[in-house]
Every structure is written in C-alpha cells, then in structure tokens.
Amino acid sequence: MLHARPETLVLLGALLTGPLNPAGGQDALSLPWEVQRYDGWFNNLRHHKRGAAGARLQRLVPAYYADGVYQALEEPLLPNPRRLSDAATRGRAGQASHRNRTVLGVFFGYHVLSDLVSVERPGCPAEFLNIHIPPGDPVFDPDQRGDVVLPFQRSRWDPKTGQSPSNPRDLNIALYEWLPSFLQKTPPEYTGYRPFLDPSISPEFLAASEQFFSTMVPPGVYMRNASCHFQKIFNKGFGTSPALRVCNSYWIRENPNLNSIQAVNQLLLGMASQISELEDRIVVEDLRDYWPGPGKFSRTDYVASSIQRGRDMGLPSYSQALLALGLETPKNWSYLNPNVDPQVLEAVAALYNQDLSRLELLPGGLLESHGDPGLLFSAIVLDQFVRLRDGDRYWFENTRNGLFSKEEIAEIRNTTLRDVLVAVTSVDPSALQPNVFIWSEGSPCPQPRQLTTEGLPPCVPVTMYDYFEGSGPGFGITIVALCCLPLVSLLISGVVAHLRGRERKKLQKKGKESVKKEAAKDGVPAMEWTGPRERSYPITIQLLPDRHLQVLDRRLSVLRTIQLRPSQQVNLILSSNRGRRTLLLKIPKEYDLVLLFNSEEERDTFVQHLQDFCVHWALGLSVAEMVENVLFRKAVTKQQRGRILEVFFRHLFSQVLDINQADAGTLPVDSSQKVQEALMCELSRNEFAESLGLKPQDMFVESMFSLADKDGNGYLSFREFLDILVVFMKGSPEDKSRLMFTMYDLDANGFLSKDEFFTMMRSFIEISNNCLSKAQLAEVVESMFRESGFQDKEELTWEDFHFMLRDHDSELRSTQLCVRGGGGGILSFFSPGVGDIFKPNVSCRVSFITQTPGGRSCSQGMGLPASETPELGGPGLKKRFGKKAVVLAPRLYTEALQEKMQRSLLAQKLQQYKRFVENYLRHIVCVAVFSAICAGLFAERAYYYAFASPSSGIAETTFVGIILSRGTAASISFMFSYILLTMCRNLITFLRETFLNRYVPFDAAVDFHRWIAMAAVVLAILHSAGHVVNVYIFSISPLSLLACIFPNVFVNDGSQLPQKFYWWFFQTVPGMTGVLLLLVLAIMYVFASHHFRRRSFRGFWLTHHLYILLYILLIIHGSFALIQLPRFHIFFLVPALIYGGDKLVSLSRKKVEISVVKVELLPSGVTHLQFQRPQGFEYKSGQWVRIACLALGTTEYHPFTLTSAPHEDTLSLHIRAVGPWTTRLREIYSPPTDSCARYPKLYLDGPFGEGHQEWHKFEVSVLVGGGIGVTPFASILKDLVFKSSLGSQMLCKKIYFIWVTRTQRQFEWLADIIREVEENDCQDLVSVHIYITQLAEKFDLRTTMLYICERHFQKVLNRSLFTGLRSITHFGRPPFEPFFNSLQEVHPKVRKFGVFSCGPPGMTKNVEKACQLINRQDQAHFIHHYENF
C-alpha cells in the first residue's frame, strides 16, 4: 500500500495555514477542540479511513486492463512506449511559458505530489512491464543490437484487489493535499464540510498533474542572489555554464555549487525568476532521454515510463475519460489541438493505426494542452482539488470544527508561499515577487534569457551496470572450493589411513628387521640386468655352502638358487668399458646372470669372493673380458630361456597327448633350429618347481626331481621329463601308486619304511601350511597301517602300499599332473579347451548331505563310479585339442522327491523377483513409506513456493533455485531428524522382540542408516546447488527486488547495487552455517566410508561424533528465517527426545566398570576375553555389545559379538587383532609379569540385537561363518545344545553350520567350542561342515592323497584329520548352490529355510547369489540374513 508521509502533511499544513503559532491560539494543554491525527484517520467519522494514509485510490473512470482485472495492455494492442514518447513529446527546448509560470512553481508542485504519493515505489512481489527499445535507438541502442530492454517494475498494489473484474486492482496511496496553483480556474465557493464526499486521490489526477508538469521542466536551473546577479555554475570537465544542468544533477548529493545555505537561497531565487518551458506536448531531453534509470540502466525515458505506469495503473483511454467526465470527444485527430504540428499528429495516429479511440489518457492529455492544461487535465485537477477541500473535516475554512476563528481564517487566506519562504529563510522580501509562481513585468530580477541546451554541459550518456562484474572468478573459485571439500576430506583421510597403516605394520613386524639384517649380512648388493627393454632391479648375491649361489630381492626373498657342481665350468665375462662395472656369469643349462655394480672396485670385490669360492669347492672358473654391448648380446636372458622352454613344453605335451602340429600352435620361422635347441635343453630344479607351481625346497619337489633325474646330473632332459609325464597322463592307478612308492623309497631297497611313509605324508601336508603336527601325523600313519592290517610291519612292499589305497582307485585314476610350463603356463599355449583336461577334478572332493536309513545325516565324497570313469589316455583324453572335454556333473545320492519344473528365463526372473519381494517385503515397504514421506515433503514445499506462498516475488525471481532449495530442505530436515532413530540401539533391541518386528526390519537399522545418509547427502548437494543458483540471481538483482523478497533484511533506500556473492556465502547466518555444514558432512561421510572405516576405526568414531555440531548448525541454519520461519524443530524434536533417552540408557551402563576374569591369547591373533556378567544383564544368542577398554580410553567403543551363551555366568568375546586398537588390546591383555597385577577393566554397552537372533524361528537353519564372522554362531550353537539338553520346545529342529576358514589353525578356539557342542549334541541337532580354502591344488596327486588320508581318518576314528572334530572337512570353497539343493532333498517337507551368514562381503554375496538361484525354482524358499565385517 502507499503511505502518506507525516512530515509532508505537516509541511502542507504549514503552507496552507501560515504561521505555525497563529495569534489568538490557545495553550495546547487546554485546547477545547479535537486534535487531528497525523495520519488522517477518523477525519470522516462514518468512513474512518477516507483520506487517511494508506487509503485506496478513488477512480474517476473504471479501470482498463487487458483481462479486466490484472494484466496491463501492452504491445501489439498499444504502441511501443519509447516510439510513442519520440513521436508525441520530442521537440526543441527553449520556448517560454505563455503564462510566465516560474520554475519554482514546477518544483513546488512536483515535490508536493511526490511527497504525498509515490507511485514510483515498486510493488511487492516484483512484477515487470519492461520497455523494449526499438533497434537503432540513438540513445539506448546506438549499436543496433535490437535486444535492449529498459526495466520497469510495477507499483505496489492492494492485495485485496485484483480478484474479480468488479473489484479491479488498484493502487493504495495516501491523501495528497496538493493545491493546483497553476490552474487558471477558481474553485467553487466553499460551502462547508461534506461528510459523504470521498476526498481520496484519483489515479487520473496523479497522471494529469505529473504529465502536465513534465512539459514545463527546463533543461537547466538558474541561480541568483538578492541583487539579481545570476551565478556561473562550475561543471567538472566542462568549465562554467549559466545554469545547473537538470540531467546531471540527479545523483550529486554533495553538489559543489550547493554547499551552503546561501547557495540554496540563491537556487530558490533563481527558480522564482526563471520562466518554465511552454505548457505543451514537448518534454526536454533531460527527462525524455536521461531520466534516472532503474536496475542496471543509468538512464531511462521519463515519458515512456509514465506511459507504462498509466498502463500499469489501468488508466482509461483518452476518449473514455472525456466521456466519463462529460466532456466532448474529438471527431478526428486534427480536432485534438490545432496548435500541434500535423506531422506529430500523423506520427502518433500511425502508431495507433489511425484509431482515435485507442489513444491513451497521458499522450492525449499532452497533445490537447497548449499554454494551459487541456480540458481533460483541467477537469481532473479541479475535481480532485474540490474533493480534497470539501471532504476534509479539518479544513481550515470549516468553522464547525472549532479549530480557527474567523480572524484566523482570514489571516490564513492571506498567507502566500512568498510569506512562508521569507519566514523560514533569510531571503530579502524585496528579492521576490508577490506571486512566486508567476513572473510579471516589473518583478525583480528578470532571467537573462529563456534557457536552452546551448551553453550547458551535455548529459552523461546511458551506462549499464553489471552487478556481477569482477565477481565471476571469485564466485567460481568459491564454488570449486566448496566442491573440493570432499576431496580435501578424502586427502586428510588418506593421510590418516596411511599413518594408521604404518602404525599397524609396525605393530605386526616387530622383530623382523633383525632377522633380515642377519640374512643380508653376508650378501653382496648389485643390480640385475634382465634384458634390453627391461628395468634393472636391486638384488643381493649370497655365496652359500654346498656350492650354492643365491639371489635375493630387496625384501630378502629368494629369487633364484644356482647349484654349482664340481664338474661344471663357471664362465665369468667382465666388461672392459663404460666404467668396467658389468659382469656376466654364464651358467650351463640355465639362463645367465648379468650384474651391474656401482663401481669397478665393487665388481672386483665380488670377483675375488667368487674366485675364492670356486677354489674352496674345486670349481672351474674362466675369466674373460669384452665390451659391454657385446656382453649384453651374448647373455641368455630369462625371457630368451622362457621362449626355449615354451617350445620344450609344446613338444612335450604334443608327444604325450598325440597332438597334431597344427593344434600345438605355430612355431617360429627357424623352427628346426629352435626345436633342436629346445629338445637339447635341460630343466633345472628351480624351473621344474616353477612348472609345477611349487617351491624348489619342497620335499615333494626333491623326491620327484630325484626320481626323474635318472642320470643324476641335477637337470631334467626332455626324455626324463617325458617319461614321468606319461605315467601321470596315461598311467593306471597301479602305475601312479608305483611312482609314488618309488619316489619315497629313499634308500632304493624296494621297500617303504614307516619313516619313509612319514616323509611322504609330510610332503603332502606342506600345501596345507603344515596343518598337522608331527604327533598328529604319526597318529595318522599308525592308523593307516593298523586299518590295513600292517601294524606289525615296519616296511611295506609296493603291493602292500597299493592295498592301502584300494578304496580310492577312482581318485587315483583321475589324478593328473598340472604343469604350468615356462613363462606363463602350458595351458596358455593351446586352445581354451585344453585347460579343462588339466583342471583338477574338484567334484571328487565336494561333499553333499544325504539321508541314511538311521536318519542321521552324513557326508559322502562325490566321485564318478569306476564304470563311468574314462581310462586315462583312452578316447576321452585322445580328443583333439580345441574341443572341450566332457566333465560329468556330480550325481546326487538322494533322488528328488518332487518333480523339478523346467522354467523359461522369464519365468525364472519372475520367480526370482517374487522371492526377492518375499525376502525383503518389510524392507521394501519401509523404504517406500520413508521415500514417499520425503517426496511428499519435497512436493509440498515446491508447490507452496511455486504457487501458494505469500506474494514476495521470490518464485518469479529464482523459480528453479527456490523450488530445489526449499523442497530439498524439507526432505533433509526429515531425513537428518529420523536418522537418529536408526541409532537407538536399545530401543531397536526392545522393539525387535515385539509384534512390530513382523512389519519393521529392525535388523536392517544400520543399512537403513546408510541408505538415509546417502540419500540425505545427495539432497544436500541438490540443496546447495539450488542455493548457488539463488546466490547468483540475488547478486545480480537490484535492491528494490531484494527488499520485496527479504523485507526484514533489505530496505529499498534508493540504491540499485545488490550485495556481492560473498556476502550471501560468508556474511549471513544461513550462508556461513551452510558452508560449515558442507564441511562437516564432507568429513563425516568420507571418514565413514567402508574403505576408511576398515583402516582407522578411531578416525571414523571421532569424526562421526561431529553429528552434535551438525545438528547445532542445522538449527542455526534455519533459525535466521531468511525465507521462511524455522521448521527444522518440527521434525527434530520427537526423534531427538527418543535418541536422548536411548543414549541415557547406554550411558547408565557405560559407566559401570567390569572386571576381566580370564584372558587367553589364541593363535591367528585372536584374544579371548572372559569378564563378569553385570547384574540384570539379559541377552540372547547372536547379540552383540560395544566395549571400551579403560587402558585405551573411555570414549572409543568397538562392537563385538558375544561368543558366550545366555545360560553361562560370564560373558566372553573373541577379538581378532586386525587394527591398531585390537592389536594394542591384545598387548595390554598379554600375561602380566607380576602375578598380583590385574587386567584392565572394561566399559560395556549393550546388548543389541541383529538378524542372527532369528535362527530359532526356522525349522531348518543354515549358519555360514567366514573368518572372524563365526563368532555369533559360537553362541548360537552352545545355546541350541543347552536348550535341547533341557528338553526345551523349539521350532528349530536342525542346524547346518558351515565354517569357511583358510586353515584350521586360524580359529582353533572355535574348534574347541564345536567339540563341546558335538559332545553335548545327543539329538544330532547340529551338522558341522568345515571348508579349508588355503589348500593349494598345484599338484593334484598331493591333494588327492590328503583327501584319502582325511576320509580314512574320519572312517577309522570318526573325526577329522585336520580339526580333530567329528564334523566333515572339505578342501576348497563351499559350493553353496548344490549344498542348498541337497537340503531340499533331505528336508522335503520344509518350505522355508533360514540362511544366516557372517563374514567377508565376498562370501555373503556368494551365499545371497546361491539363495537367489535356488529361489527361482518353485520349491523351498531360502531366506537370507547376513552381516559383513
């Protein structure tokens, strides 16, 4: 709304009433009359608001809008305002007023009008009716761009209007008490106050008075003193001028020509003597081309803006206004005004398409005026003046209000503006004429001449302000810096992880340095040259006893061992140039060794050592010299040796397997020479071990190599290798057993003693990391002898040995020799199908569960019946290479009880989808509900700010930015509030035992927490992007626009310069807290990543406690209410109270110190802690707790699964040392040296529930544990057996426990628990299957023998050879899908199986994949719960 300025009303009152303290006035404290309000309220006792500040305009003529309500008329319905301004008001300046009206009268009228009502004040929300400049405009578009637009912001409007055509939108302005001193008509006699007359200002009056005065404004203003001396004006860059230029005085608040009170008096005297411009249509260029512009433009067209303002106000056309006021309308364009140039009328008529009815009020009123206001303007002004006077109850002539006496009224009537000026200034009365609005002949101080633009400084041309000028680089750098916050956080986390890794390595490598130093003490450092295109690398050369030369890498690992024989001749070639620091050691039947030393002295030192070595061991040594380039060419490198061995193995296998030359692969061009060279070469022990994928020092390699090396020269020829390979590829089981017998008949006496049998078995278990001790191995040997009836024999014949393997003929038959070949493997030299023949027959060692007549489940090795096994070397192996050999699938021992339906791929996908929905229905529903709430909040805020918010103009200013920022803010507020509930561990543990667990997956709280966090950070990024858009738009928006959007922050004080972008980012509360929030989120999210969390749990723990700062910043961020009232507390209050209560419950437990009663340091870095059970501590098997060790700090808690059962009196944990905290924990709880010392105490928080608790809800449950992930199942197994021993009724009837471990020694503590379970499991509730994965299948003979020994041991002693348990031990990784299929055969009536896995992500993913594949079938349903660590 428009408001009248109170000070202006006082000034107007002073001008109208004369002296402020009239004679005869009474004391203010005893006034008998009513005191008038300053704002005009209650002037009319019936209509209190009439004539008051903020009253609506009173239209004389109905509003004229395009839609009758709101939309202003624009092009093409009406002419372009700039074209109309040029056509109607352009002309020559310097024509004097016909009535000699003074410039002081013009000044007075303008300021009274602008002070009472300011239609220039922009409306809120900001709306624009921009003025398009015609191309080539000489002032605004001299470059003929054609895209120049002068901004025009619509005026303020009454929000109660504009709702229907019967109540048009109108301006809300204040009452003007403007006296039309230049109206050449006398108002009718005052007949008294008329209470039913509305004195409100009309928009027609505003337009008429303003436009009439615009034609009278001169291009400059004179200044004179009381003695009629007209002053010279000093102009910067122009010199002096006779008058102040109007167009250059708009912005000069400290004008050097008006720097004193005397100068102001001179300006008033000059205006009193200066005659204004002629009252016609012409407007000087100072207003028409150089009026102060809004927004980015320094100049605008005053006339065009006034025309646009009339359209904004809905003013009627010129003809409509004449008819409404009862005036005669012109018949045609020439009747408008005979004094107007016909060419001007023709130009204007052309713009209106010769349609006089479309002529607007403002240009029509100007065209009809000449010397005096035209009939229309005169009628409008007179009507307004009469209503102002007669509708004012406090008008000074109203004798009934008791304000003034007749004498006072007469005195007021005799007061003029001249009297006021003389009274309030120091002007000499003789220097002013009696009527300061008219200059007459005889008046003092006539003007020198009628002022024109000649002699005046030119107007400053239009300029465009670029609000963003100079801010682009800074804005871009700021955005890049904000985007780099995660990268900086990532860099910091990388440094922290690196430091923690170094700390962990230091803890794990204590004592290793001394060993390395001892090993390198006798070595000689050098660089080994391996080829012309290869990089040399540092090595250490050692000369060892027994004629061995050993090459070590920088980590002191053995790279190569060279055995020198007495009959060998060692050739040493030295370089004779380039520093003489190169040495070539040529070794017969092996690739050469080329060494680079730092200097000749170092080389000579090594040569001397080598000569002494050869003399000591009676070795021949020849030394020669040659230039270095020739030396390099003469050397046989490892690559060259590899190519020779490649041909060697090709021809070796082509002869064994009858492969054609074409199938064996292409040979080099000089094939005959290469083949001859390859066939003549011999394999060293190292190359033989490498071809088998074994270590040279393995006993098996020693035995095999010694057996194959028939001539005893320490190398294998082509024929020697071929003979032994034929046995493995084509030999019968008898041949293979005889080969093994001969290999380990070390004394070659034709018998195998117990010691030699022991040595054979010892070589077999090397590949299982020596999983058996010597005592265990001795027990195995005795058992095998006893089972075969040889307990009384000390030596075995081959027949006895073969009899011991009588039950494993099929395994021996399928046993082959896996040869890798030179330089990458023999299998790579042939087509892909070759690999299938040499692959180990893994199926022969995969166990499946079958039903026995007694009802107990047992394990049987899956192998092919003898009748179905192809003879080695028969047709099955004589197939041409390049075609895949047929490997029969393992046959199930229990036939299917239900018909398996063959489904199409689409049906399988649908079944998989169906089972997925069944498995995760609760998860899907919860995620869908949560997502729907977030989407609904986003949509509600977006819709509100787009269409339903109070009109502030923000949506029109930054539509995309405000919708994006406000919508995401609502969703983020909800997410960051309710994410707290996912961390209420005590509440979740309680609720999962209620009926709500059937509808809400409380076990997935951590996954849901991560999902919410990731969704929230994505929305936070979008929120930031929206604000980046907002900041940019606000940085280029004028203050008038910002004052509408942010009325509590900005005031439209006339400045057009908005705040810079950095003010929004760093000098506002929302901006600064937003930047800090991005920083906090970047730190928390990066340090919470899976990669970093595994490397520095403490870093994750500490940075995640920044959530307190996060919520403080979130509250402050929205509390400033820059755009809307704070709303975050609406979402945050309830979750915060619940979370606070949950934390109080945890804190009440954390402060209880718990004593550790027993500690065991187990192998594989596992620490077993047994501690007191707090009073009232109730838990269930499978639950976990959080502990803090007082010796390591009371604030860092780590989660671990309880391995004790609920019925036990103490609590126990098995903690593996994998990080700095767990490693230090192991050190702290090492056995104390002082017997009186006590273990450090613990803080305990928990218990907390998770998915493994659900094991008892399934009739059959499968527990899969990998690595340290077996800990929750230890508690479950003990709990199950205990409950069954008490005769408790349980739904769960059978548990299959699959333990996946690299070696059985890795978690031997679990074997003790399983052994305890087996002893107490009288009802056969638990079936344990152990899979040992670190069993290298490099040479299938050894793994076959291990398998034979394991089955024999289990058969004889009913326990595993490796674990000592009755459970079944398998070698390799578990085949989950066949295993689950077998379960369906064993338990055909069970419709739902519970599968619970805990371990590395790779293992749990394999279990999940197997469940999905099984669930595709229309049979039993496998429901998978998993936890990763």
For 377-393, the three-class secondary structure string (H helix, E strand, C coil) is: HHHHHHHHHHHHHHCCC
Q: Return the SS3 of 723.
A: helix
**For residue 106, how many other CB atoms are within 10 A of its CB?**
25
Strands 149-150 and 524-529: unpaired
Q: How far apart are CA 154 and CA 730, in angstroms?
A: 100
Q: Which residues partner with 1185 through β-bridges? A: 1200
Query: Per-residue pLDDT tens for 1280-1324?
Result: 778 777 767 777 788 888 888 776 555 566 777 777 777 777 777
> Of 30-44, 162-176, 272-286, 639-653, which range is least confident?
162-176
Q: Say if residues 1014 and 1088 touch (Cβ distance below 8 Å).
A: no
**For residue 567, how many other CB atoms are within 10 A of its CB?**
9
- Which ranges of 282-338 would DSSP assign to H, the alpha helix? 285-288, 302-313, 318-324
pLDDT band with cut points at 50, 70 and 90 for residue 16:
very low
Q: How far apart are CA 1048 and CA 1125, in angstroms?
A: 12
Show the tokens assigned to 820.
Answer: 């890798």
Q: Return the SS3 of 796.
A: strand
Percentage, residues of the chain above pLDDT 70: 76
Mean per-residue pLDDT over the chain, rounded: 75
pLDDT at 1077 over 90: yes
Strands 558-563 and 548-552: antiparallel
pLDDT band with cut points at 50, 70 and 90 for residue 1428:
low
Q: Which residues partner with 234 through β-bridges? A: 240
Report CA dihedral (444, 450, 452, 457) to the nearest 10 degrees: -20
Q: How far apart are CA 960 and CA 1406, in angstroms?
A: 45
DSSP letter assigned to residue 729: H
Exposure of 37 by Cβ count < 10 A (0-12 exposed, 13-18 middle, 19+ buried)? middle
What would the mean pLDDT of 524-535 be, rounded to a whole number? 86
pLDDT band with cut points at 50, 70 and 90 for residue 903:
low
pLDDT at 364 over 50: yes
Q: Say if residues 1184 and 1005 touch (Cβ distance below 8 Å).
A: no
DSSP string, 886-916: P-PPPPPSS--SSPPPP--HHHHHHHHHHHH
**Helix H or strand E segment including 88:** helix 81-89
Report pLDDT for 168: 39
pLDDT band with cut points at 50, 70 and 90 for residue 845:
very low
pLDDT at 853 over 50: no
**For residue 241, how many other CB atoms are within 10 A of its CB?**
16
Find where tokens 């002070």 sit.
Answer: 115
Q: Say if residues 974 and 934 touch (Cβ distance below 8 Å).
A: yes
Rounded to a whole number of angstroms, the distance between the first and last alpha carbons of the chain is 66
Exposure of 152 by Cβ count < 10 A (0-12 exposed, 13-18 middle, 19+ buried)? buried
> Of 197-211, 237-251, 474-488, 730-744, which range is least confident?
730-744
Q: Say if residues 366 and 213 touch (Cβ distance below 8 Å).
A: no
Q: Return the SS3 of 1114.
A: helix
Nearest in space to 241 (alpha carbons), one of 231, 256, 228: 231
pLDDT at 771 over 60: no
Cα angle 471, 473, 474 (rounded to 5 degrees) comes to 65
Q: How far apart are CA 129 and CA 305, in angstroms?
A: 10
Query: Per-residue pLDDT tens for 1216-1239?
Result: 887 777 888 888 887 765 555 678
Is 9 or 76 the better-scoring residue by pLDDT? 76
**For residue 28, how many other CB atoms are within 10 A of its CB?**
7
pLDDT band with cut points at 50, 70 and 90 for residue 745:
confident
DSSP letter assigned to residue 1106: T
Query: Per-residue pLDDT tens for 82-94?
Result: 999 898 888 888 8
pLDDT band with cut points at 50, 70 and 90 for residue 1020:
very high
Is 1370 or 336 the better-scoring residue by pLDDT? 336
Show the tokens assigned to 892.
Answer: 């199930």
1211 contact partners, CB below 8 Å, separation of at least 6: 1170, 1171, 1172, 1173, 1177, 1185, 1202, 1204, 1244
Q: What's the predicted TM-score (pTM) here? A: 0.61
In sign, the C-alpha dihedral spanning 39, 45, 48, 52 is negative
Phi-psi region of 351 (alpha: psi -120 to 50; beta: other; left: phi over 0): alpha
Query: Per-residue pLDDT tens for 39-98?
Result: 667 777 777 677 666 666 778 888 888 777 778 888 888 999 999 989 888 888 888 888
Q: Say if residues 153 and 123 touch (Cβ distance below 8 Å).
A: yes
Is 1382 or 443 the better-scoring residue by pLDDT? 443
260 contact partners, CB below 8 Å, separation of at least 6: none
pLDDT at 878 over 60: no
Is 841 or 148 the better-scoring residue by pLDDT? 148
pLDDT at 260 over 90: no
What are the angstrom distances between the C-alpha of 28 and each of 21, 33, 34? 11, 10, 11
Q: How far apart are CA 199 and CA 84, in angstroms?
A: 33
Q: How far apart are CA 636 and CA 634, in angstroms?
A: 7
Q: How far apart are CA 1427 and CA 1250, in angstroms?
A: 9
What would the mean pLDDT of 1358-1364 be, rounded to a whole number? 62
Q: Say if residues 1255 and 1182 touch (Cβ distance below 8 Å).
A: yes
**For residue 992, how many other CB atoms are within 10 A of its CB?**
20
Q: How far apart are CA 139 and CA 298, in angstroms?
A: 12
Report pLDDT for 511: 43
> Of 315-329, 412-426, 801-815, 861-875, which range is least confident?
861-875
Q: Return the SS3 of 373.
A: coil
Q: Which residues partner with 849 through β-bridges? A: 859
Query: Per-residue pLDDT tens for 89-134?
Result: 888 888 888 888 888 888 877 776 765 565 566 667 677 788 888 9
pLDDT at 537 over 80: yes
pLDDT band with cut points at 50, 70 and 90 for residue 1134:
very high
What would the mean pLDDT of 372-401 be, rounded to a whole number? 81
What are the angstrom distances between the C-alpha of 303 and each of 55, 234, 609? 27, 29, 108
What are the angstrom distances between the C-alpha of 822 and each of 537, 586, 767, 947, 1395? 22, 20, 22, 76, 45
With b for 16 or more beta-carbon neighbours within 10 A and e for fewer, the 973-989 pattern comes to: bbbbbbbbbbbbbbbbb
DSSP string, 197-257: S--PPPHHHHHHHHHHHHTT--SEE--B-TTSPBPPEEETTTEEESSEESTTSSS-TT-TT
- Which ranges of 901-1050 would DSSP assign to H, the alpha helix? 905-919, 921-943, 954-957, 959-978, 985-991, 1005-1035, 1039-1045
Is 1071 or 721 the better-scoring residue by pLDDT? 1071
pLDDT band with cut points at 50, 70 and 90 for residue 1334:
low
Cα angle 1248, 1251, 1252 (rounded to 5 degrees) comes to 95
Nearest in space to 1273 (alpha carbons), one of 1389, 1367, 1159, 1156: 1367
Query: Per-residue pLDDT tens for 1233-1292?
Result: 555 567 888 888 878 776 666 777 888 888 888 877 777 787 887 887 787 777 677 777
Query: Per-residue pLDDT tens for 1145-1173?
Result: 877 766 678 888 888 887 777 888 888 88
Residues listed for the chain = 1429
Show the tokens assigned to 519.
Answer: 């090993």
pLDDT at 578 over 80: yes
Q: Say if residues 954 and 945 touch (Cβ distance below 8 Å).
A: yes
In sign, the C-alpha dihedral spanning 424, 425, 426, 430 is negative
Report pLDDT for 975: 92
In sign, the C-alpha dihedral spanning 689, 692, 693, 697 is negative
pLDDT at 665 over 60: no
> Of 972-986, 1006-1020, 1357-1371, which range is least confident?
1357-1371
Phi–psi pair at 274, nearest 5 degrees: -85, 130
Report pLDDT for 1309: 66
1349 contact partners, CB below 8 Å, separation of at least 6: 761, 764, 780, 784, 1361
> Of 712-726, 861-875, 1245-1259, which range is least confident?
861-875
pLDDT band with cut points at 50, 70 and 90 for residue 842:
very low
875 contact partners, CB below 8 Å, separation of at least 6: none
Exposure of 604 by Cβ count < 10 A (0-12 exposed, 13-18 middle, 19+ buried)? middle
